[in-house]
Structure 1
Amino acid sequence: MNDVKQAIRTHILNEFLPGESEANLRDDTPLRTSGILDSMSTLNLVTFLEQSFGITIDAHETGVDNFDRVDTIAALVARKQAGEA
């Protein structure tokens, strides 16, 4: 799971927070509720996750519950890889 979290963090830093220190993006840093991710950046992240991890994320799964923290995004990826909803 740490590899998944690292890939997510790296993508977020490169795409949405260029120049930001990796130390400032923790597993529990709010992403959607703080404005780091908006609807367009969430779609970008969904595409990255689907391509990188061979999963499909449904539109109803892209809300704050699953996409507000690196922890919850990684948990969604793990559930998808395990064949769960």
Structure 2
Amino acid sequence: MSVHGKIRQYIRSNLVTFDAMGTEFTDDDNIFEKGFVNSLFAMQLLTFIETEFNITVDNDDLDIVNFSTVNNMVRLVEKKKKENTTA
């Protein structure tokens, strides 16, 4: 499964909001502004991303913008993977 697919699946499977309300979200929807997630879920999401993709998110990357949309998370993962291969 792609990075994109894994992130979407994680969000959908860990938030009952989507199942209960039949809510859909696009890859560019800000999941914080839409009220889908809170700060606790943000920390769980960070842990998932680091573990699932075998990357370390540095303090400089701990910006809510990097975790606000599926597309931003995919970009972050791809950036960190690229950094790991060039290091």
Q: TM-score scaled to structure 2, two decimals? A: 0.80
> When you count helix as a share of all residues, which structure comes out higher?
2
Q: Which residue of 1 aligns with 2:49?
A: 49
Flag the 1:35–1:63 CA change in 2: closer, same or farther, 3 A.
farther
Q: CA RMSD in A?
A: 2.1
Q: CA deviation at 1:60?
A: 4.3
Unpaired runs of 5+ residues, structure 2, are none
1:34 aligns with 2:29: no
Aligned length: 82
Q: Which of these two proteins has the greater Rg computed from alpha carbons? A: 2
Alpha-carbon distance in 1 for matches of 2:7, 2:52? 10
Q: Percent identity?
A: 27
Alpha-carbon distance in 2 for matches of 1:8, 1:14? 10
Alpha-carbon distance in 2 for matches of 1:82, 1:7? 18
Unpaired runs of 5+ residues, structure 1, are none
